Structure 1
Amino acid sequence: MDKPAKEWTAIVLTSRTLEDGEAIKSELLTYQKKGFIHQSCIVLVVEDPVSSTSSGVGSGTATINALFYVVEQLSARRGYHVLSADVLIDSNILVLHHGRSYPFGNPLGAFTLLPGHISPSKDYVEITTNILHLYNFATTKLLPLFGSGFWVCSTDMIIDYDQDAFVEPSTDSSTGETDACIITVPAEPFYASKHGVVLTGQNGLVQDLLYRAPESTLQSFTQEGNELQLISGIVYMSVGVSERLLALQRFPAIESCTYLSTDVGSEPHSVSFFFDMLLAMSDGIREEDFMKRGSNITKGDGGASGDASKAMGTNVRRIIWNKMRHFRLSSFHIPFARHIYLSTDLSASEYLNIMKSLGDPQSSHSFVSRSSSVPSHRFHSANSCLIDVEPMSGNLHVTNSFLENRLRIEEDACIYNVDTRMSYIRDSKLCLNAGLYLAVFPVRLALPESTCVKVPVAIGLNDSLLTSMERTTYCNIPWKNFLERTGITTSDLWPGPFAQKEQTLWNAKLFPVLSSCGEPTMDMLFWAFSSQGSEVGLSLAVKLERWRASWRYSLCDILQNADLNADFQAKRSMFYEVFARQLAKGLLENENIHYLPYFQSAVVDGFTKVVLEALDSVASTAPPNVAARTLALTADMLSCMARGEGGLRSGPAANEKFLPAFDAFENGHFERGVGLMRKQREEWSFKPDMLIRCARHYEGAAQICIRRAVMSAKQVSQTLSLPFRKDSSA
């Protein structure tokens, strides 16, 4: 990672619910502990204001609320007794909007795993997520180009850019003096017609913002290469603009955009960040056009219905126009970049194509046993273990999963967050039908005890989530055929007052979350598997009745109630399971791998036990030379656990409590020696100085193993007698 010229003062995460926000904040704090986010940066989470008549608010409302909240927090931390805009003068604030639910790779597009790893320093390792990628991009490539200010960044998109070809503005660029700036990337009219586009004038200022304009309209605005300036989702606002935006909360209509609306008992009003707030700063927009256009949400579509809502929307737009109009809005175009929107409009196969286009390696932090028979050229994995996987035809894409031969994959599959050791597999040996996306999501159920269950989901790789069932498929077959084959009815799937055109895979109550036997099992999705185990004799009628008797969620319900904290923990748990297996393999095969960053990360993530157990396992059975290296690495692990405290690594290693273990190593009883060392380690691991002393004794044990390795070499060595050579010059 490039060292940025400046650092962020604060990062503010907006979230629809406090539970989701706290889970994401915990992830960001983990990044901070590992050095990916600067230690001085303040990490905050703020819940979006939510009205009683809608499930969410516009991006503008969320932005105003985040600005108000972070200034309030900074004011308090700097000793002010009232809200002070002065804290903005020397601050760099980044707002990350929570983003929408996403069914592929993670319940949130922000934490979709991207190909490869990212390591900003020699000290830690981390799987690349989209939010970490966006943060790195904003920090190293954008922040140094602008003055102090307030940044807004969506997390619904991936910005794929060529770092070597990245063109920075010249020294006479006006980016440091602009009032506000939209970061744009190139896009062709077809793609741009689904998003927002910036139109600029000869003076370099933004003239207009177009949202989902027809492709034919956009053709007339294309530049060189048939491209347009697409809104990337990242915006900079200067201190002056931020101060003015903050001052707007003095107006009751704008105050309702902050959390204060909840505290005073008023309804929050929805505002669009781009097409209300930024549109008002566009150079080519007149007041009459602005008041007439507005966004759908300020016209009342996102809040309470009726004349009162429309009047409030008109009032909000007039305030925004009057107070924000005189600011200059520019754009900063990144020509060597690509915008990828993580939308529920995408199918699973389109998601896979995106991953491949990003340079998806065949294996990224994964362990595949030698007995697995998946063809390497058809296999892509990230953060996964494959043990004894049976041969298959077609392509396999696995993320955050542990697969063994209890699940057979027929042909062409995408697997996310599946662990075949879990109870949802039961005792049956299942065969996943061809062409499916199989995932397991941890879901919080609306029960008093806040139960979290693991919910299996299966959809076709080419299924459309949002298209009416009349015009699309489920599990790659027409809905009509699926219903006839299974006996499921439309009233089973859409029990509410859904018009036929509104009946989609997104809102179909397909997936059991609770049954009479407890948590759902994969075989309850009976249409997705060919059972080869104990339930092969069950009739279709029995399977259908069991499915009907279950409590079911739609895919939309599942993602809205996904337990993000459980999902993050599952990802990290799998990361260290993979590492433990790679560690054992690397030691036994004498691979040259730098393990310290993994050890340091295990301390931060709370997975030191997994690493120590892996080291113990290798040292117990390995030959002396390998055992010596393994014991030395255990000493390194213990030193990392001391977190830089506890004293020096060098020191005596002859404490009587370790002597029985040393005797066992001297006599070649490595398994007993490792067991005795482990027992003493567990007694000494409660504070840093004891950890360091324990590490010294592990180094002492390693020296004994080295001595035995040298002695074994002497035992097998031979002195050879060679015949005298007459042609020798000696």
Structure 2
Amino acid sequence: MLFQERWTCIVVTCPYEHWCQPLQSQLGYLPTDLLLIVPDPYDGIKTGGNTGVGSGGATLNALLVAVEHLSAREGHTTIVSNVLQNSKILIIHLGPSLLPLPMGIIPISQDSLRTNVDKVVELASMLLKKSSKSGIFVVGTDILIKGSGSCLPEMSCTLPEDTDICILTVPADKGYASRHGVCKSENNHVTNIYYQPDIETLDSLFGDDLKVWILSGLVWLSSEVGESLVGLHCMSPLDACTYMGVDSGENILQISFYYDILTSACSQVTQQDFIEGKCGKTLSRGRSASPAMMKARKLVWQSLNKYKVQELKLKEYEGSCYLPITTPLKESEFLHHIKSCQPEVKHDNNVVCEYDINTDCVALFSNGKSALNKQIKFNFFCDTITRPLTEVEHKILENCKEPVIISYKLLHIDTICYAIFSAADPLFCHYKDCAATCFGLVWPEAMEILELTADQVWRDITGKGFFR
């Protein structure tokens, strides 16, 4: 994989500590000499179901860890935030919304870039090469960035020269935008960020415009903004978003990157509305105006309100879509994407859709019966790979309801892995809940097929279920 630019440091965040070692080995090809895999300070194994520190907390913690490593490399024995002045840092958030996809692998049809991780890295690298700025790019991997062609098109735009914070957006129709985050700006200066605004609100904001601008999951922060954020790591209660605060016994604090941090610098957001949590996601999901959250937002306001947020519209990327993993899985845009990007649907007995592309990800949809005696064939780097199902995999498919098979060629390892699950499985139920299933079966039946016990599946992990 050839990327257009190298980064001083790339930080990949993930929700669980046990993801770190596999990610470190699998993502070693990314364009940097300093790759850091950073789990959320309060991962799901320890919290028994706590959802972590949120995108804002994960960003603060990732930036803190990056600055620690860069400071040490320059010989400092303490954190020196001005190392950001000459650094180009990329923070990649691999959230739980990507399950059951290892390391954020999302199949991309007819594309020279293998995964969505590759796409967001290359997109950020293209912008970095054009601007030659020091600073921080924060990117998420739960939106599939689509171009008009088979590869990422060259952009006609660059990061504004005088920008403090730049939010990158992509066009979408109002119906689609009403389910996601929408950016409103005047003269490219962001006035507010809205979370899942209804059509009536969008009409009042954008009038007769057929397209509006949704968050792309990419945000640029200047080095100065980065230093301000690093300065928050030792201030209570925001220190509870970082490993330092958690290790000191602080109660975890979950904050949103867009709605508890970035909106503080939006020109039409008032201090009172921001501090009380009346911005975007914090309001629509009933986020509390607790004393801790209000104190945290007040600190953010004092640090970031002096900056300005600009919008960069990626007009070449219309058709980009979010790929959240919802429950049941068959209602997720993720599965709709896999089916839609298959270039040629094949009807072969009971095989509904065979995903056959030059990539290391393959999906096959089947009713699990007549396809059982077949070997699954697919292309990988133009070579035909054939790997028969194992006895256990056969047994799973014989019993699985609405099965989905995703095949992975593990990088650097000559191994093909299959992820098999039911599109009807609820992902977030405890395995003892009456509605919980695995392979469309109740968990005791599924574990009998796998010849495993609950202790063998989850060991000491709390919140036992498909999601874990």
Q: Same fold (TM over 0.5)?
A: yes
Tell me the amino acid that sits aligned with residue 206 of structure 1. Answer: V
**Alpha-carbon spacing, 1:347–1:418, altered in 2? closer, same or farther (3 Å):** farther
SS of alignment partner, residue 208 of structure 1:
strand
Q: Deviations over 1:175-209 (max 9, x none)?
A: 1220000000001111111111111013x210011
TM-score normalised by length of structure 1: 0.51
- Contact in 2 for aligned 1:208/1:279 (Cα 8 Å): yes
**Alpha-carbon spacing, 1:377–1:66, altered in 2? closer, same or farther (3 Å):** closer
- Pick one of 390, 401, 422 that aligns with 2:390: 422
- Contact in 2 for aligned 1:200/1:206 (Cα 8 Å): yes
Tell me the amino acid that sits aligned with residue 338 of structure 2. Answer: M
Q: Deviations over 1:646-674 (max 9, x none)?
A: xxxxxxxxxxxxxxxxxxxxxxxxxxxxx
Q: Does the alignment pair 1:178 with 2:146?
A: no
Aligned residue in 1 for 2:442: 510
How far the C-alpha of 1:349 sits from its partner, in A, is 8.7
Aligned equivalents of 1:129, 1:517: Cα separation in 2 = 30
How far the C-alpha of 1:7 sits from its partner, in A, is 2.2
Aligned residue in 2 for 1:311: 291
Q: Deviations over 1:455-486 (max 9, x none)?
A: 85334xxx595899xxxxxxxxxxxxxxxxxx
How far the C-alpha of 1:407 sits from its partner, in A, is 3.5
Q: Does the alignment pair 1:283 with 2:267?
A: yes
Aligned residue in 2 for 1:168: 156
Unpaired stretches in structure 1, ≥5 consecutive residues: 120-127, 386-395, 410-416, 443-452, 469-490, 496-502, 521-549, 562-730
Aligned residue in 1 for 2:174: 189
Tell me the amino acid that sits aligned with residue 49 of structure 1. Answer: P
How far the C-alpha of 1:9 sits from its partner, in A, is 0.7
- Pick one of 31, 39, 44 that aligns with 2:36: 44
How far the C-alpha of 1:222 sits from its partner, in A, is 2.8
- Contact in 1 for aligned 2:399/2:439 (Cα 8 Å): no
SS of alignment partner, residue 191 of structure 1:
helix
Q: Does the alignment pair 1:213 with 2:213?
A: no
TM-score normalised by length of structure 2: 0.77
Aligned equivalents of 2:359, 2:68: Cα separation in 1 = 43
Aligned residue in 2 for 1:594: none
Aligned equivalents of 1:211, 1:176: Cα separation in 2 = 28
**Alpha-carbon spacing, 1:218–1:516, altered in 2? closer, same or farther (3 Å):** closer
Q: Deviations over 1:603-630 (max 9, x none)?
A: xxxxxxxxxxxxxxxxxxxxxxxxxxxx
Aligned residue in 2 for 1:665: none
How far the C-alpha of 1:21 sits from its partner, in A, is 2.3
Tell me the amino acid that sits aligned with residue 330 of structure 1. Answer: Q
- What is the aligned-residue identity percentage? 23
Aligned residue in 1 for 2:145: 159
Q: Does the alignment pair 1:320 with 2:300?
A: yes
Aligned equivalents of 1:551, 1:69: Cα separation in 2 = 32
Tell me the amino acid that sits aligned with residue 106 of structure 2. Answer: T
Aligned equivalents of 1:506, 1:248: Cα separation in 2 = 42
- Pick one of 76, 81, 94 that aligns with 1:80: 76
Q: Which has the bigger relative contact order, CA under 8 A and spacing at least 6?
A: 2
Aligned equivalents of 1:190, 1:429: Cα separation in 2 = 37
- Pick one of 220, 230, 234 that aligns with 1:246: 230
SS of alignment partner, residue 161 of structure 1:
coil
**Alpha-carbon spacing, 1:25–1:164, altered in 2? closer, same or farther (3 Å):** closer
Aligned residue in 1 for 2:422: 458
Aligned residue in 1 for 2:12: 13
* RMSD (Å), alpha carbons: 4.5
Aligned equivalents of 2:231, 2:400: Cα separation in 1 = 58
SS of alignment partner, residue 237 of structure 2:
helix
Unpaired stretches in structure 2, ≥5 consecutive residues: 376-384, 409-416
Aligned equivalents of 1:66, 1:167: Cα separation in 2 = 28
Aligned residue in 2 for 1:55: 51
- Pick one of 99, 104, 110 that aligns with 2:104: 110
Tell me the amino acid that sits aligned with residue 252 of structure 2. Answer: P
Q: How does 1:460-475 map to 2 (within 5 A)?
A: none
Aligned equivalents of 2:159, 2:387: Cα separation in 1 = 53
Q: Does the alignment pair 1:494 with 2:433?
A: yes
How far the C-alpha of 1:221 sits from its partner, in A, is 2.4
Tell me the amino acid that sits aligned with residue 125 of structure 2. Answer: T
**Alpha-carbon spacing, 1:271–1:432, altered in 2? closer, same or farther (3 Å):** closer
Q: How does 1:180-579 map to 2 (within 5 A)?
A: 180-202=165-187, 204-222=188-206, 225-294=209-278, 310-337=290-317, 338-345=319-326, 347=330, 351=334, 353-355=336-338, 357-358=340-341, 360-362=342-344, 379-382=354-357, 398=364, 406-407=372-373, 420-425=388-393, 430=398, 436-439=402-405, 456-459=420-423, 494-495=433-434, 510-511=442-443, 512-515=445-448, 518-519=451-452, 559-561=466-468
SS of alignment partner, residue 153 of structure 1:
strand
Q: Deviations over 1:258-312 (max 9, x none)?
A: 100122121221111100110000011111222233469979x899x9xxx8111
Aligned equivalents of 1:225, 1:504: Cα separation in 2 = 44
Aligned residues: 432
Tell me the amino acid that sits aligned with residue 339 of structure 1. Answer: S
SS of alignment partner, residue 207 of structure 1:
strand
Tell me the amino acid that sits aligned with residue 151 of structure 1. Answer: F
- Pick one of 60, 64, 71 that aligns with 1:64: 60
Aligned equivalents of 1:517, 1:293: Cα separation in 2 = 46
